[in-house]
Structure 1
């Protein structure tokens, strides 16, 4: 059975603009305006979901989507680094940051390792493969990247080489164990 999983990355907010870990919080004005302008441009799906973060939920709302909250689509848990900027953490804990970036099982922040994130998101993706039709989910960039890594059976380190822009659509189609990926379609306002 083939399923289509469409992942929309949330709109911009202040924490993301500042490159803070766990960029949750309300959308900034520009992010909300872009999401509202893109309402109606998302593909139709049989099911709609969202990560539980405020950023994901507000993006879904601005896009006009009625979503079900999915705990497995939560952003990467970065423990005590939450809310801090990478440059702040690197200045205080350079060895910990190097370990985190170089070892997929390291979690010096006390949260989830990269491997744990990829396993969690991979479990959600596999569960979608058991369902018919399609699902569209608003999920943070770390979740989208982890889904691509898992879906294509890439080395975990490939996670660091993937960029996910705000309000972009990534599609995985296929079934558990055999996925095809279409990356980075930008959601934009329809021409009037």
Structure 2
């Protein structure tokens, strides 16, 4: 039994453009338009899920997808840093930021660590490997990073070395917990010869 998961990163929002830890802002006009233009270009799916954030739900809607919120795919909990930029929290709490960026087991004050996020995503991936068919998941960039780290069995510190552009797809396929990975497809560029 082969499972296929296509992870779609959200369109741009004000917080994404400003490199701000998610503050619940909606998609910006350009991001919504680009997502709408990509509607209909995604592969058919047996299941459609989304991170329960505003920008992921709005991206799914703009793509014409009726996605169910998947709490296990929720954004990294940034605690009291939510809504702030990295520059702001680096000014206010430089030692805490330094510890957070250098040790994946360290969480932002009141938040969740990268290690905990990767563990949460690994549990979701394990369940997904037992489901036949394709799942489309509109998820926050940090979820895509955690999936890549988990699938490649990379050290959790590799999380910080992965860039996930808006409205791109990462595809994983496999069975029994063994996944193959294809990254970086811009939505709307899918060709017939790349169908899996």
TM-score range, shorter chain: over 0.9
Q: Residue 58 of structure 2 aligns with which residue?
A: 58
Give the gaps of 5 or more residues in structure 2: 191-196
Q: Residue 139 of structure 1 aligns with which residue?
A: 139
Q: Determine the C-alpha separation between the residues in 1 that align with 2:108 and 2:21.
A: 14
Q: Determine the C-alpha separation between the residues in 1 that align with 2:102 and 2:168.
A: 27
Q: CA deviation at 1:84?
A: 0.3
Q: Residue 98 of structure 1 aligns with which residue?
A: 98
Task: Say yes or no: does 1:153 pair with 2:160.
Answer: no
Q: Deviations over 1:156-189 (max 9, x none)?
A: 0111111101000001111343111100100137
Q: Residue 169 of structure 2 aligns with which residue?
A: 169
Q: Determine the C-alpha separation between the residues in 2 that align with 1:65 and 1:21.
A: 25
> What does residue range 72-91 of structure 1 map to in structure 2 within 5 Å?
72-91=72-91
The root-mean-square deviation of aligned C-alpha atoms, in Å, is 1.3
Q: Determine the C-alpha separation between the residues in 2 that align with 1:133 and 1:86.
A: 39
Name the SS for the 1:22 alignment partner. coil
Change (3 A) 1:138 1:114: same
Runs of 4+ in structure 1 over 2 Å off: none
Q: CA deviation at 1:151?
A: 1.3
Q: Is the 8 A contact 1:60 1:67 kept in 2?
A: yes
Q: Is the 8 A contact 1:50 1:67 kept in 2?
A: yes
Q: CA deviation at 1:24?
A: 3.0
Q: Is the 8 A contact 1:39 1:189 kept in 2?
A: no
Q: Determine the C-alpha separation between the residues in 2 that align with 1:121 and 1:102.
A: 21
Q: Deviations over 1:17-61 (max 9, x none)?
A: 111012532100000000001101111111111111010000000
Q: Residue 2 of structure 1 aligns with which residue?
A: 2
Give the gaps of 5 or more residues in structure 1: none
Q: CA deviation at 1:149?
A: 0.6
Task: Say yes or no: does 1:29 pair with 2:29.
Answer: yes
Q: CA deviation at 1:92?
A: 1.1
Name the SS for the 2:148 alignment partner. helix
Give me the TM-score of the superposition, normalised by structure 1.
0.95
Q: Residue 184 of structure 2 aligns with which residue?
A: 184
Moved more, 178-187 or 17-26: 17-26
Q: Is the 8 A contact 1:3 1:134 kept in 2?
A: yes
Q: Deviations over 1:72-131 (max 9, x none)?
A: 111100100000000000111111111001111101422100100001111111111111
